[in-house]
Structure 1
Amino acid sequence: MTAAAIEPAALPAREDGAQFQIGAATSLQERRPRTLKHGDCFAVYDANGDIISAPGSPDGLYFRDTRHLSKLHLALNGVRPLLLSSGLRDDNAALICDLTNPDFEGENGGPILRHDHIHIRRVRILWDATAYERVVIRNFDDCPRRLTLSFAYGADFADVFEVRGDTRPHRGKDLPPVVGADAVTFAYIGLDATRRETHLRFDPAPTALTAERADFLLDLAAGETRILFMQAGCRAPAQEQPVRRSFFVAMRNARRALRVSSSAAASIATSNDTLNEAMRRSVSDLYMLITETPEGPYPYAGIPWFSTVFGRDGLIAALQTLWLDPHIALGVLRHLAANQAEDFDDFSDAEPGKILHELRRSEMAELGEVPFRRYYGSIDSTPLFVILAGAYLERTDEAEHVRALWPNIEAALLWMDKYGDRDGDGWIEYGRRSETGLANQGWKDSHDSIFHADGALARGSIALVEVQAYAYGAWRAAATIAARLGFMERAAQLDARADALRRRFDAQFFDEELGTYVLALDGEKRPCRVRSSNAGHVLFTGLALPERAASVATSLMSGASFSGFGIRTIATTEARYNPMSYHNGSVWPHDTTLVAAGFARYGFRHEAARVFEALFAASTHMDLRRLPELFCGFPRRRGTGPVFYPVACSPQAWATGSMLYMMQICLGLKFEPRENVIRLHRPILPDFVDGVTLRRLRMGKNTLDLSLQRADHDVLVHVAARDGDCRVVTSL
């Protein structure tokens, strides 16, 4: 698909140079939000199940990057109930909140209602752009009670970028709410001429209903239970059915869909119950984040800020989970191929062959107030696309699927040579085509993330160290694909291209004094002599010369880089180090796992196991055992957990894939479908795990159940069940 040309609106400039920053007026970690997602719809609630309407609050029900419900407060006799517990089902199908009453004065001189006598259970489901809720109220008192249960609500139809902190000089028109006997409809006509609606329905009909509130007057006998239902839809239902029935249909559909989608994945069970919880949550989060596109499944990047297609995030999440479920990788490849740029468009940073960075469908994106309607300002998505295609072929040997993608792969390779290398010097560099585009276009895309040893920001077209590593991986992957498809001459050309890059790279990027690779070359080819996690990605793709690997690994596992919970983005020795920053000293789980994969590739398996232990230890302090997008890079202290980052997305696709990927890395799990072999290369179990069982491990039509058990310093491998004739080989 050709990148659409958009006439951009005037974007406000920031004096500090920061772009599209996420505001931090409210800490997500402090509030521990509860999230649900289905398709293009997601919801963020507080622990009570409410949507808090406050400045800076990300709470809400969102559909296609617009907030359709910005307020939802449940009250009992006009007071917020007390929280007992709150949690998600293991499969993420429902949010369940248990509440109770505080002390109430008696009505008309009646007896005081003491706390903990009225129980309220809220069960909420998200399905097909609609949030469904069942509220069960039970009177545990020994006398009748008259109670008023109320819902207060509102819809602001804010663009997700407004919620993140952007300001708009003009907005569309809010239409007057339409109130019926048991329903309320809010509507908004945007400046893009699109009508957006929110439909609230109640069952039974409220005692009183207005545009702001629904009141239910309840007379409950001792021990009596009453059930209420509510739904909030982001579009008009095609066929209205009773709200009560809709809830149970949605519950069935949500549970069934998650069960069917996750059934394609291998299951993981270990000797450590806490690790099992983390693994189950990772799998559940992965499939909750996946949205079905016309080309197949795609893991949306993260909730709340990035619940949409991101090229880089989807590609890395698919790489992390390729061993578990290769269908995800195929969906990612096909969807990104369908959205590959064919023409130039300065506003969207599009160039022929380039792979998508971000896709948005909100009002601000449609109007060009932000450049992300279909945006290509990512320097690494294109080589990562080729790497994933090669990894998918290696995992599945499904050559026909990859053959269909070959024109897209060739277009990506042409982009790398012709447009990625902006000045013809052999390095892939980025530089935005418009002042509205992202200034930094690697995965560390903060405005201040690429700098020199003295802290001065790098200028000009920048060649990131990890991007050269991805380019090398892409040339190698493309050579393998070409050979498999019978294009032998092309394969030789691609291998030669990779060889040439490897010969030149070491001289330009390795710094003897630092003992590792520099962060980048700036526009004048001056090295950014900064110790960073980016250097570990050179190990990940195999670009590093073998004699450099030990030095790089030592640098990354030193106290300056390894926090004890993961690998810092920037070492503590560097000028811009700040453990609370987004990219200059924090720990990102996905980044840490790519470095760990590099360790294992060069034989540093014990270092990889230490990284696994670090991320696992971090997860034990996280709500739901869920690793967030990032956390602060403060050093690990005995008896304490990691310091949270205030506006980190959770769940986040590539953080969700991190624990799953670490399992593959430590087991040395590889697939050789042409030889019908599943290989375990030098498997190692970290100290907190004595045994691992993998069930329904698939390769083609074959499935295996594998059991691995620690035996002193070795790992014993046993085939517990087999369906097919594939072999298991353990190699040293």
Structure 2
Amino acid sequence: MSGRQPLLHDLAIALCAPTVVLSGQDGQLRGDGTQGVLHGDLRVLSEAVVTVDGREPEPIGTAEPTAGRGDFTGLLRHLGDPGPDPTVWLRRHRTVTATGMTEEIELVSTAGDARRCTVELTAAADFAPIELIKDGGSREAVAPEPAGGDAVRWSCGGVTSTLRAGGAAVTVRPPRAVARWTVDLPPASSVRLGWEVTASDPEALFVHGDAVRLGAPRVQADDRRFTSLLRRSLTDLEALLLAELDHPEDVFVGAGAPWYLTLFGRDSIWAARLLLPVSVRLAAGTLRTLARAQGTAFDAATGEAPGKIMHERRRGGFELTGMSLPALYYGTVDATALWVCLLHDAWRWGLPEDEVRALLPNLRAALEWITEHSDTDGDGFAEYLDESGRGLANQGWKDSGDAVRFADGSQARPPVALAEVQGYQYEAALKGAALLTAFGEDPGGLDAWAGDLARRFRERFWVGTKEAGYPALALDGDKAAVDAPTSNMGHLLGTGLVDTAESERIGARLLGGDLAAGFGLRTMSNAAGGYSALSYHCGSVWPHDTAIVVRGLADAGQPERAAELGMQLVRAAGSFGDRLPELFAGYGSEETPVPVPYPASCRPQAWSAAAAVALLSAFLGLRADVPAGTVTLAPPRPSPVGALRVSGLPLAGGTLDVAVDRDGTVTEMRLPPGLRPA
């Protein structure tokens, strides 16, 4: 293994979880890097190359009209009429399903005479696991076996991949199979051929989450860049939905394709939280799925602890250079508090009381982990330390090994207490107390615990002068404040851990050009010693990170700043075909006219796609409290996207319709029965 993950930025990607197809822009699947059909973290088809008379079509066009579709056009000039204009071409119409892929091959001729040609599809399968691919490794292709007529199959470890090519002559040439069609193409005509690949996996963990459909509100805005981003994001999110095989009704969002198309605690929670305005059912499924795997014992090898919410779950161990994660891994310091916050927020958005009540035992267990077990060294703050020596060295959302740095670029020594985690835990304590009280249970001393945390945080985390200070990224193992200015401070907004004056200082600091540089929020200031525009966590832009800060700014009473930062993402989105990737380079708009890709970034990525819904909420100033019967609408002034009209937004068994004019004034509002304006 090389230890260098393959690049993704120039690939065509189509998916219907748990299947994802990655190809070149010409439509060919060559088995290089990540290319292939992946199903449940296994590459069930590594090669699918189409030729006509032994020649590959010359690519001229690629389109990704929906999350699960790909269309590719290539010229067949050797078959055409003499002259400069192409008269024969080939189009591949690809559709991804939850169990594989179908493809229609269309040959089109405007030539004056009939043509005869031979179309061949050469295919192979290596069943490489996703972690081997991500680590730059490779595996020998598996020998194919005839499956009768126009079919061939490959098998490995109980997983079977079957290719059918209707009407073709299929031959086996280990390690490949070849499907051949002889085509007579009349003048001014088209001929269509078809093939498909289907995966069968009896040991699959997850199936496509088709028991839940996200709300699809009708959104109109003067700035059509925003509506285009929102539409694409919602279709991508539908394609990322998963559910456990034994609990198909509990749907969650797989974190991202191709590396993380599975259940992740933090990612799935944040995605569900940002998506509450379009689906409470998704939040319910996410909460219950994670609750079933909630920790019950202490285990240093997996990071498990009683009450703790897991980090990720895969079909087997995840082996990368220098790291070995078990199939069920709990190495996250923040997912537990975020689970509590999601439960509370889902209740506020209308999750039925009986479903909330059923999760109260899990809530109490999570709160006990927060208040009793998350502070491993007794300093009053939650921190993490990889006791196994083979897990994640950093266990916040910035989990790369070099993510936690001082302003001079030096790396922090563990155990590390991250700033945003203290904010999440403060918020979880107060929201957990509110839930328990609302359901007639004693919250104990959660309010007092949160108050003590706020006092300690104020004493230890703030760095710089009173006028220009900001919260440090973290405290390191020596309890020194890790003073690099980073986006992490923005996650404190709206948690309650910082007061109004402190929130104002944080908001002003974040909107400075060293962090908010034109296309979103940099993860680290470009004035810091460890900054690099192409660092995974030390200078890149993560759309979900920006969206969380936009949400926090809106909740902290800074709607204009929220709008300004949110529009930076809107401006960036078009460069990625409105499919915001996991992250992109941190170059500012003064350095480059368009955002630069981070080449190994997942796309689509659940919380990146969910960012579009977070922007919609911020641009409306939307908050809901269904138990109290109120809805708040407080748009920024002026509206950042001009006149904005939203209809059919699901809420409390009905829908919300609202219109906002260019000045940011709510001109129309229709609420479901039983709700009133706050």
1:23 paired to 2:1: no
Amino acid at match of 1:727: R
Amino acid at match of 2:63: G
With over 3 angstroms needed to count, the CA separation of the structure-2 counterparts of 1:128 and 1:303, relative to structure 1, is closer
RMSD: 2.6
Amino acid at match of 1:161: E
1:455 counterpart (377, 387, 409): 409
Task: Give the share of equivalent positions with the same residue, in percent.
Answer: 31
What TM-score, normalized to structure 1?
0.86
With over 3 angstroms needed to count, the CA separation of the structure-2 counterparts of 1:643 and 1:618, relative to structure 1, is same
Q: How does 1:86-165 map to 2 (within 5 A)?
A: 86-90=62-66, 92-103=67-78, 116-165=86-135
Offset of residue 377 of structure 1: 0.4
Q: Distance in 2 between matches of 1:594 and 1:452?
A: 23
With over 3 angstroms needed to count, the CA separation of the structure-2 counterparts of 1:113 and 1:101, relative to structure 1, is farther
Amino acid at match of 1:75: T
Aligned twin of 2:240: 289
Q: How does 1:342-353 map to 2 (within 5 A)?
A: 342-353=296-307
1:478 counterpart (427, 432, 449): 432
Amino acid at match of 1:381: A
1:701 paired to 2:653: yes
Structure with the largest fraction of helix: 1
Offset of residue 119 of structure 1: 3.1
1:628 paired to 2:581: yes
Amino acid at match of 2:39: F
Number of paired residues?
665
1:727 paired to 2:676: yes
Q: How does 1:329-728 map to 2 (within 5 A)?
A: 329-362=283-316, 370-396=324-350, 398-487=352-441, 489-490=442-443, 493-513=445-465, 515-623=469-577, 625-637=578-590, 640-687=593-640, 689-711=641-663, 714-719=664-669, 724-728=673-677
Offset of residue 336 of structure 1: 0.4
Offset of residue 722 of structure 1: 5.7
Offset of residue 441 of structure 1: 0.6
Contact residue 702 and residue 725 of structure 1 kept, 8 A: no
Amino acid at match of 1:278: L
Aligned twin of 2:184: 219
Q: Distance in 1 between matches of 2:539 and 2:592?
A: 22
Amino acid at match of 1:151: L
Residue by residue over 1:37-95, the C-alpha shift from the partner in whole angstroms, topping out at 9 and shown as x without a partner, is 23x222212223221222xx2111112211111111111222221234322334x3432
Contact residue 618 and residue 642 of structure 1 kept, 8 A: yes
2:47 counterpart (58, 71, 75): 71
Contact residue 5 and residue 600 of structure 2 kept, 8 A: yes
With over 3 angstroms needed to count, the CA separation of the structure-2 counterparts of 1:608 and 1:264, relative to structure 1, is closer
Offset of residue 378 of structure 1: 0.7
> Could you say what secondary structure the match of 2:180 adopts?
strand
1:273 paired to 2:251: no
2:167 counterpart (200, 204, 209): 204
With over 3 angstroms needed to count, the CA separation of the structure-2 counterparts of 1:572 and 1:364, relative to structure 1, is closer
Q: Distance in 1 between matches of 2:194 and 2:446?
A: 61
Contact residue 136 and residue 227 of structure 1 kept, 8 A: yes
Offset of residue 172 of structure 1: 9.9
Q: Distance in 2 between matches of 1:226 and 1:682?
A: 54
Contact residue 217 and residue 649 of structure 2 kept, 8 A: yes
Residue by residue over 1:324-379, the C-alpha shift from the partner in whole angstroms, topping out at 9 and shown as x without a partner, is 2111111110110011121222221111111110111147679x993241111011
Amino acid at match of 1:181: G
> Could you say what secondary structure the match of 2:37 adopts?
strand
> Could you say what secondary structure the match of 1:621 adopts?
helix
Q: Distance in 2 between matches of 1:25 and 1:550?
A: 42
With over 3 angstroms needed to count, the CA separation of the structure-2 counterparts of 1:115 and 1:65, relative to structure 1, is farther
Offset of residue 458 of structure 1: 1.3
Amino acid at match of 2:281: H
> Could you say what secondary structure the match of 1:370 adopts?
strand
Contact residue 12 and residue 24 of structure 2 kept, 8 A: yes
Offset of residue 207 of structure 1: 7.1
Aligned twin of 1:81: 57
Offset of residue 532 of structure 1: 0.7
Aligned twin of 2:34: 58
1:181 counterpart (136, 145, 149): 149
Amino acid at match of 2:131: F
What TM-score, normalized to structure 2?
0.92
> Could you say what secondary structure the match of 2:359 adopts?
helix
Offset of residue 179 of structure 1: 5.9
Q: How does 1:306-321 map to 2 (within 5 A)?
A: 306-321=260-275
Residue by residue over 1:8-59, the C-alpha shift from the partner in whole angstroms, topping out at 9 and shown as x without a partner, is xxxx9xxxxxxxx973453x22x24222223x222212223221222xx211
Amino acid at match of 1:310: F
Aligned twin of 1:16: none
Amino acid at match of 1:339: A
Offset of residue 299 of structure 1: 0.5
Q: Distance in 2 between matches of 1:125 and 1:217?
A: 24
Gaps of 5+ in 1: 1-11, 13-20, 189-193, 238-253
Amino acid at match of 2:673: G
Worse-superposed segment, 450-459 or 373-382: 450-459
Offset of residue 123 of structure 1: 1.8
Contact residue 215 and residue 649 of structure 2 kept, 8 A: no
